[in-house]
Chain A
Amino acid sequence: MALNTLERERQRRERRNLTLLLSPGLLWLVLFFALPLLIILVYSFMTNGPRGNIVWQFTLEQYSTLFTRSIYVNAYLRSIWVSLLTTLACLLLGYPLALFIVRQPARWRTPLLFLILIPFWTNFLVRIYAWQIILSNNGLINSALNSLGLPQLNLLNTEGATLLGLVYGELPFMVLPLYAAIDRFDFTLLEAAADLGASRWRGFLRVMLPMTMPGIAAGSVLVFIPTLGQFVVSELLGGAKVDYLGNLIQRLFLRSNPPNWPLGSAMAMAMMLVLLVLILLYFRSTTEEDR
């Protein structure tokens, strides 16, 4: 009986400690994440006033605009497409890179990983401006071409430049989870596959690829999510020639005259929906792996 009370007392204290430990983080999340999200959600169902003010009247107009006007539909499709391309490019570049680092002698691995992280020491905007300098008409590449007597290439303000900037910026987020996954992989399994008659490629497809899938999934999610909502790279390297989701949202909130917060909010909510589906798929794939 006394033991029971003691046990209950212990549990009660444990719960109190847990609450105490969690509350700062919870408070932060509620104030700066859940609440703003709720505001956006509410805004997305409101009417836009003539001077860009919010009229508190429920409407589904914003959402119907999103799914009917081609400028918005196209922005969605384009953003999803370019995010897929970026993810794929990061995967194709990142997998061999991560594999290469894992296969190096132990004393080289940390410095090599460090090299991948070094760009983070500089502000992302600064690095994108650096790309402008490299790609512009009288930039590094074109000067080099010029001095060789070759014709000038129009590199900056193209969709290729956008893709390049995105892949450049997101690659580390792909390499790190891939590194972790490949590092855990037992390479004896590839020998076993070869021993059982699998060529190198088949051994990779049947053994290494499925076993490093958690890393591929994690890296892809980490690259896809920020790319879908980005607006800086397409503006600074793509020249804002085509609209991506992020550019439209930014414009609706800050640049349009008058601004249209409800429509911008609806766009953001719709984008979240896409990501939510993706993340659910990701969690499903990883929990299956852990079974």
Chain B
Amino acid sequence: MSDGNAIELRDVVKQFGDVYAVDHVSLRIRDGEFFSMLGPSGCGKTTTLRMIAGFEYPTSGEISIHGREMSTTPPHQRPVNTVFQSYALFPHMTVAQNVAFGLEMKRIAKSEIGPRVQEALDQVRLTGFAERRPRQMSGGQQQRVALARALVNSPEVLLLDEPLGALDQKLRKELQLELKGLQRRVGITFIFVTHDQEEALTMSDRIAVMSQGKVLQVGSPTEIYERPTCKFVADFIGETNFIDGTVIEHGDNYATIETADGLKLRGITPRPVAIGEAATLSIRPEKVRMFAPGDAKAEHAFTLPVKVELVSYIGSDTRVTVRLNPQRTLDVWEQNTFSTLDRDAYWQPGEPAVLVCPPDNALVLTE
């Protein structure tokens, strides 16, 4: 009866007083996938996770775990385990006692608990730490204890609430890869809550982008980055340039807009548009190309005349801010595929330039 779905949320609402923390969310999380819920703080991602764990019950709607309706099942009766943002390790217990806790609660035989705890600690590379207290360990080690304490119960789904949030950047990167590798090995469904888009893109099979209690888009990292269906997602994931205009012409999956200045630009339409509709062209800084005026390569149907305003050399890239009109600047990132000290090879502030916006690299968004 599970249809390959580990978790299914049907029209789930969570209200706190008058506030909709989660606003009619429906999601299907497949068995064995690494699923991320991504959004700014207060978007409802943690509340959604807490409802799956059972710490909160939905105001309305249904939550199923492997096809069993569990909206109001208390947390200790759900086949899921959580890795908390603060780790929530029991400070009065040793690492081994922490990891054994879930097995003891399930009344697993004592003789079986020892080896399983050992195995779980080996899995997170904490062999030999069994008798330590949590407070004698570093943040990264505590994080792994939390992981072992959850995984030892062989949950059907593992819930992770910003588990890397408290760690420094370098450790984060390491643990991201480790976590992804672990998920592949154990084959358990991971639901990962984060506000860090890079983290979500690196680790996830699919991502749900949330804002103000709503799921705006669900898709693979490439889909989310390359085909955002609304301005919020385009803006929240990575960086992008927005140019406002009106739809003057469209096909099945593309549309052309005209700006107030009379410039025409074309892009892909993830959702149907209508002529005369207000729309925004979204094009990412690395997907624009910039040439000197008169350069043969600047001969293109969709170009923007601009003036270079700011040039930031950051090693691998040069990031250029150009001015389109008095109200609007655009960002252009050019990879430094050459190696030279010649100043003329780089853009200089004040230079005129032409931006080429290939329609395949741009999106026309109406929401």
Contact = CB atoms under 8 A, between A and B. Distances in A.
B76 A197 contact: yes
A193 interface: yes
Given A202-B105, A206-B101, A194 B88 contact: no
B75 A195 contact: yes
Interface in A204-242: 206-207, 210-211
A122 interface: no
B259 to A, nearest CB: 51
The CB with the most chain B CB atoms within 10 A, among A192, A194, A211, is that of A192
Q: How large is the interface on B (under 10, 10 to 19, 20 to 34, 35 or more residues)?
A: 20 to 34
Interface stretch (A56-64, A90-98, A155-163, A183-191): A183-191
A198 B76 contact: yes
A186 B91 CA distance: 10
Interface string B49-76: 0000111000000000000000000111
A195 B92 contact: no
A3 interface: no
B45 interface: no
Contacts of B74: 194, 199
Nearest to B91: A211
Contact of A191 (B75, B91, B101): B75
Interface residues on A, range: 10 to 19
A203 B90 CA distance: 11
A81 to B, nearest CB: 31
A176 B80 CA distance: 38
Contacts, number: 63
Contact of B92 (A188, A194, A211): A211
B88 A197 contact: no
Given A202-B105, A206-B101, A195 B90 contact: no
B102 A196 contact: yes
Which of B54, B92, B106 is packed against the most chain A CB atoms within 10 Å? Answer: B92
Given A191-B75, A207-B90, A196 B84 contact: no
Contact of B90 (A192, A197, A199, A202): A192
B146 to A, nearest CB: 9
Given A197-B105, A197-B153, A192 B76 contact: no
A188 B86 contact: yes
Contacts of A211: 90-92
Contacts of B53: 191, 195
Contact of A192 (B84, B92, B153): B84
A193 B55 CA distance: 11
Nearest to A202: B105
Given A198-B76, A199-B76, A210-B92, A192 B106 contact: no
B79 to A, nearest CB: 10
Contacts of A198: 76, 101, 105
A196 B86 contact: no
Given A199-B76, A207-B90, A210-B92, A193 B84 contact: no
A99 B7 CA distance: 35
Contacts of A210: 92
B117 to A, nearest CB: 13
B86 A186 contact: yes
Nearest to A198: B105
A192 B105 contact: no
A191 B88 contact: yes
A191 B82 CA distance: 9
B81 A196 contact: yes
Interface string A254-291: 00000000000000000000000000000000000100
A192 B91 contact: no
A289 B80 CA distance: 32
Contacts of B81: 195-196
B149 interface: yes
Given A188-B84, A188-B86, A198-B76, A193 B92 contact: no
A8 to B, nearest CB: 38
Contacts of A194: 54-55, 74-76
Contacts of B89: 192
Contacts of B153: 196-197
A127 to B, nearest CB: 38
Interface in B261-304: none
Contacts of A188: 84, 86, 88
Nearest to B106: A197
Contacts of A192: 82, 84, 88-90
Given A193-B105, A195-B80, A207-B92, 20 more contacts: A186-B86, A188-B84, A188-B86, A191-B84, A191-B88, A193-B90, A194-B55, A195-B81, A195-B82, A196-B81, A196-B101, A198-B76, A198-B105, A199-B76, A202-B105, A206-B101, A207-B90, A210-B92, A211-B92, A289-B92
Interface of A: 186, 188-189, 191-199, 202-203, 206-207, 210-211, 289
Interface of B: 53-55, 74-76, 80-82, 84, 86, 88-92, 101-102, 105-106, 149-150, 153
> Nearest 10 CB-CB pairs, A to B?
A197-B105, A196-B102, A192-B88, A194-B75, A188-B88, A195-B82, A194-B76, A197-B76, A198-B105, A196-B101
25 contacts: A188-B88, A189-B88, A191-B53, A191-B82, A192-B82, A192-B84, A192-B90, A195-B53, A195-B76, A195-B82, A196-B76, A196-B81, A196-B102, A196-B150, A197-B102, A197-B106, A198-B101, A199-B74, A199-B76, A202-B105, A203-B76, A207-B90, A207-B92, A210-B92, A289-B92
